[in-house]
Structure 1
Amino acid sequence: MNKRFEGKVMLITGAAQGIGERVAERAAQEGATLALVDRSPLVLELRDRLAATTRVIAIETDLEKFEGALQAAEATHKAFGRIDVLVNNVGGTIWTKPYEHYGPEEIEAEVRRSLFPTLWGCRAVLPYMLKKKKGAIVNVSSIATRSVNRVPYGAAKGGVNAMTACLAFENGERGIRINAVAPGGTEAPPRRIPRNSAKPGKKEQAWYQQIVDQTVDSTLMKRYGTLDEQASAILFLASDEASYITGTVIPVGGGDQG
């Protein structure tokens, strides 16, 4: 097994389920010391499962607030004395419908969920990396910046792309690389804690199916990706193998550029 992250501390947000969970599992196998962050207590189960493989802590906190991101960064640095890699993975569509059906409070909720945790995460962790003059940040965006029935989410992820580029400009000469991956549709087990607990009606089901159809139609491979295909791209950008890559958004969507 390649040990690309031996001796490195990796902070992963949104680690309890889906892509974040798979990144954590793979990073542990590759030698990373882990700080797993999520507002769900499921992150404690992942910590216990990975503890046999690596040094790991879990932090339950709400990353939609700066205080939560600050808590995560401080706890990680206190436990391990450094933060080498940050993977900002929090985000996800809460509602799927044409834009005219979104209420103002829903629009704000989508942006809080899928933009602010990345803004706050970078702001909380950068000072630790700047002191060392070295670090890597990988933001998880989405190819949904060009898609249907997810305008607020797409806008939030467009913000993630912009901040990735701007932060790379600011920090490239200071030893810190900032990149993003933009996942396409990804096959994953059903979420144990759904983003939206409301039971969808026929109209909502039809709107969601439009997303699925458009996602598959937009890919050149005509399929969804896997969790490992997403994790591989994230961990590549996080590793020293990508030492001359910064300010880049890599679409991982079977040819869909987003």
Structure 2
Amino acid sequence: MDQKKIAVVTGAGTGIGRNAALALAKRNFVVVLAGRNLQTLNETASLAGGAETLAVPTDVTNPASVAQLFEKTKATFGRVDVLFNNAGTSAPSVPFEQLTPEQWDAVVAVNLTGAFLVAQAAYRVMKDQTPQGGRIINNGSISAQVPRPNSAPYTATKHAITGLTKSLSLDGRKYNIACGQIDIGNAATSMVNKISTGVVQANGSLLAEPTMPVDHVGEAIAYMAGLPLETNVQFMTVMATAMPYIGRG
């Protein structure tokens, strides 16, 4: 019988992270649930239908916390096959000139530095384990391609994730580490409920936008995760079909 693959999901307590973790569990992955809130991680675990999970409270901005996540994963399961590098945050939607350095730094710390710390820790495990290799999937967001109004910190960090993805794809080749990115648009989670009621457009108007079921995102991530390492989805965009992206302003 094939050994189950081990997947680590950051931001697994809510939203896209939770949905991805559950989709991976359905695909027979053992899922390590990482996030700041142990209660929400345990809630995710309770929804996994008896699949094997491990909840590890983690602050992705803290190098020691990230190291502990992967040390505990390796000690418990012996390896890491997949990382969904998902944890993220955003700043208040205010005009660019009103952003504070503290608001900028808070988004960079989670979305960029946190993504780097988590990817690096996973990369080190994947490089050193036997059999060697693994897969890193970064959550880019549609904002890795096009911005919304008043979103400079989020958009800048998500564009940077694309550079991180490309660098990891190149640097990981010699260690059988594949890296891809999923850019997600208007998935119906509690964090984006406002999209269905109204969001500011490029021309300043307020418009309700179509959304898509978040389950489709989880299935897309599980598909990427389930590929053999000789095959990689480098970039995938999954979005509500009618959302304003092509020609959004």
Q: Tell me the equivalent position of 1:46.
A: 44
Q: Tell me the equivalent position of 1:141.
A: 140
Once the two structures are TM-superposed, the CA of residue 95 in structure 1 deviates from its matched residue by: 1.4
SS in structure 1 at match of 2:91: coil
> Quick check: 1:103 aligned with 2:100?
yes
**Structure 1 residues not aligned, in runs of 5+:** 192-204
Q: Is the 8 A contact 1:187 1:227 kept in 2?
A: yes
Task: Find the aligned partners of 2:164 and 2:191 in 1 and give their Cα distance.
Answer: 30
Q: Is the 8 A contact 1:23 1:231 kept in 2?
A: yes
Amino acid at match of 2:143: A
Task: Find the aligned partners of 2:3 and 2:160 in 1 and give their Cα distance.
Answer: 32
Q: Is the 8 A contact 2:187 2:240 kept in 1?
A: no
Task: Find the aligned partners of 1:92 and 1:166 in 2 and give their Cα distance.
Answer: 23
Does the C-alpha gap of structure 1 residues 79 and 242 become closer, same or farther in structure 2, counting only changes over 3 Å? closer
Amino acid at match of 1:44: N
Amino acid at match of 1:253: M
> Quick check: 1:224 aligned with 2:211?
yes
Amino acid at match of 1:235: A
**Identity of matched residues, %:** 24
Once the two structures are TM-superposed, the CA of residue 241 in structure 1 deviates from its matched residue by: 5.6
Does the C-alpha gap of structure 1 residues 151 and 190 become closer, same or farther in structure 2, counting only changes over 3 Å? closer
Q: TM-score, length-normalised on structure 2?
A: 0.84
Counterpart among 105, 109, 113 of residue 112 in structure 1: 109
Q: Deviations over 1:169-194 (max 9, x none)?
A: 11123211000101112211359xxx
Q: TM-score, length-normalised on structure 1?
A: 0.81
The runs of 4+ residues in structure 1 deviating greater than 4 Å are 211-214
Task: Find the aligned partners of 1:67 and 1:160 in 2 and give their Cα distance.
Answer: 22
What are the equivalent positions in structure 2 for 1:57-68 lying under 5 Å apart?
A: 57-68=54-65
Q: Tell me the equivalent position of 2:23.
A: 26
SS in structure 2 at match of 1:252: strand
Once the two structures are TM-superposed, the CA of residue 6 in structure 1 deviates from its matched residue by: 6.4
Q: Is the 8 A contact 1:161 1:249 kept in 2?
A: no
Amino acid at match of 1:230: V
CA RMSD in angstroms comes to 2.7
Task: Find the aligned partners of 2:73 and 2:60 in 1 and give their Cα distance.
Answer: 14
Task: Find the aligned partners of 1:6 and 1:249 in 2 and give their Cα distance.
Answer: 28
Q: Tell me the equivalent position of 1:196.
A: none
Q: Deviations over 1:183-225 (max 9, x none)?
A: 112211359xxxxxxxxxxxxx9xx8205999x98xxxx6222
Task: Find the aligned partners of 1:225 and 1:24 in 2 and give their Cα distance.
Answer: 18
Q: Is the 8 A contact 1:136 1:178 kept in 2?
A: yes
**Structure 2 residues not aligned, in runs of 5+:** none
Count of residues in Structure 1 that have an aligned counterpart in Structure 2: 232
Q: Is the 8 A contact 2:91 2:104 kept in 1?
A: no
SS in structure 2 at match of 1:136: strand
Amino acid at match of 1:80: F
Task: Find the aligned partners of 2:180 and 2:98 in 1 and give their Cα distance.
Answer: 33
Task: Find the aligned partners of 1:130 and 1:103 in 2 and give their Cα distance.
Answer: 39
